[in-house]
Structure 1
């Protein structure tokens, strides 16, 4: 196999250090290594976007592989093909000469082939007395054999990303539908709440969806859309609870009026431990726990807290809560204030609140007082982490767009 020597391109084509590196690496292919050339081609086709290739590039690569006589690429075999441009044009479905040269250069740049040029730039082979090829000048396919495992992994990653993108798009479509219909129903039926602002936020999110979105684009907008959906559902749930409480109050009042005609003593239990007192306690509204949001979403909204995790990263709620304790002390939040927040909100939500405060530390004069205020609102059922996370995600998205 003719590998191991570093050659430079013929004519005006420059040599690069990357080209030299690839030629050196091809000399280190594991002895006895083989690969099905069409399997390698399919993997390269699947990974073409990662490799920076176009469909025409693949047509040229297909043509080059067709000039290799064996189905397998073998380490101990001749892997240099030497077709003329005319022959390549015919097998690449009539591609124009200038286009052919451009895509050959792309294949070289992508590290899938290496040029082995002769003294005059012609492609040919010399044979020995027995008729076997002694030396050849043309395109070396050794990089394909060397990168078989890498190309297979790249192809698998592309397939996995494509599946994840399709799934994320489906989830975003469903979430958009739910938000849109809830907003329409609430406005048409006169539900209380600032539905105009919610609709404006919804329109802004939809307007941010790129024409050709990436997985990161879709996930970012999906996070915010899910938060918006949760806020819409929370408003409707609160309204339903208010209506139920109002209905229960009316029913209780009617029940008391009717009972007055029967016995006044029945409404006056002699002890708080008697059944009547328990009934009154049971009717009092119970505090709803603050909703926990996915850790990944929290970390996207509040990336600053990650440096306080073990090794500068946070991968679980346990690590998140440990980092929150460190940040709590750094921000000057008292242990009692944080403990109360954990009892009222739950430890995960309290840690999330600390992460949000850290992100906005420059705008908060007293983090401890701010946390106590959030805790009091949570105790009254008036606080949700959703708007805070959505605002931070929106700020991060705006910053990324300005940077890009």
Structure 2
């Protein structure tokens, strides 16, 4: 049954996802299309430094998310303070109220209180409408794309800070070797143990001798300004040079290879993957925007930074990006998105995987 469900064609829900109304920019995420709870929590934890949320507040938000049913048509939490306190290991009602106020100030929660302060729902069968009272988490789901972008920004900032601290230590090493009692060098080492911004660390590094050799990162050999992506037999569009010359008569050209490399235009990608395009906060003008947007989408669907980096090294930044775009269209049918992405990009199934072929299949399923 699981195999039949995983291999079934797109149904009514997929047709709705691929419709023009749902592909418009700024579309809000419905309750049935929301990512899994652990993905939302992980994204929030990464973006917490920029959101100004403490771990205790995130734990309360995670407890609220755990009270939502997987299949629902709303994002309202009806759990009582007693239930939320039990899921937060017995915190007080006062702490819960304080955390709820913090989340409301951050724009991630909206309170809808009833007359008696209870949380419940009432349904009118005649008018076929309902009233919900409780904690409404719809603002959180509406801002998931922005939060994911903040999570990527926070990770990049953390990596830059770690790099600058390592560079400063390397700059201080010859100074301290020459004079282990150098007061200035020892003070700088102590300052590195505190929280410093990128600007502060850059200023400290600029004031030290620039004797540390820095090399450009040449792992990503990708041209992102092109308007079309080549789909030749090789995984990466690169020039491979051999020192030993080969004789043409020793290996005749294969007749199975196409005469010209297949290409994928930006318009074809956006048409085949409207769900990914709808999450973009800005316009997608070139493939550089596709790569930048994929870095935001990856953590939202459960692809961690290490897995995405390995895919970039294996098949290139652009192919990794369009693979993420394609997976967004059917990620709800995949049990473990991270493992699936790893398998088709850098794992056992990567040899037979073609990102452009996957996008073209999605394009063929899209309504005319």
TM-score, with structure 2 as normaliser: 0.45
User: Rg: which structure is higher?
Assistant: 1
Structure with bigger RCO (C-alpha 8 Å, 6+ apart): 2
